[in-house]
Amino acid sequence: MGNTIVDNAYYDWLLTVIEYIPGDYVYDEVFDLMFNTPFRWSVPNDDNRAGDGIELRYDFMEYEGWNTMPLEGEPCNVLEMLIALAQRIENDIMWDGEHDRTAKWFWEMVRNLGFWSEKVGNRANYKEIIDCWLDRKPRKSGQVTTFPTKKWAKTDQKNIEIWYQAQAYLMENYKI
């Protein structure tokens, strides 16, 4: 990676965006793994989610007043992508003008991926969840998306871009 001091400060800043205070062993492990796993995509337009994740680096630089780019030259990672997606959901679909619920949307995606139901401290399980999601392969539960819906339960989600999955999920669960 790039500058360790900047990268560490950036990682800490990302955690503040999702209102997480390090110390919970399970999530410390999960978020470390997400931060160190490049976001990869196979569906057209999901590269836009990677672009959104990279934009967080510029937000951080502006917020901190720094001129050094975190993760210089590195691809978007899973943590960045999910946080940026949560921000996009809040700002583009669910904005209410009073509250920033970015953290809510992020934690809902983490829950939907199944991290809360996994055995505590099992990094292999966390990696499997992330890899199956990135590769769009069903896990034992059949889950392949951060946005499960009843409407699309029998529809193959492997070829539907993440943004459309998010919209369908929000329409079904929040009646937008």
pLDDT digits (tens, 9 = 90+) for 81-94: 999 999 999 999 99
Work out the percent of the chain whose per-residue pLDDT is above 70: 86
Instruction: Report phi then psi at 55, rounded to 5.
Output: -60, -25
- Give burial (CB, 10 Å; 0-12/13-18/19+) of 26: middle
What does the pLDDT read at residue 153? 59
What does the pLDDT read at residue 148? 79
pLDDT digits (tens, 9 = 90+) for 132-144: 899 988 766 656 6
Domain around 52: 4-174
For residue 116, what pLDDT band results from cuts at 50, 70 and 90? low
Question: Is-above-0.95 flag for pTM?
Answer: no
What is the average per-residue pLDDT within 17-35? Answer: 89
Instruction: Report phi then psi at 85, rounded to 5.
Output: -65, -40
What is the average per-residue pLDDT within 66-90? Answer: 96
What does the pLDDT read at residue 156? 67
Angle formed at CA 53 by CA 5 and CA 7, multiple of 5 degrees? 5
Residue 109: which of 131, 142, 82, 140 has the closest Cα? 82
Domain total in the chain: 1
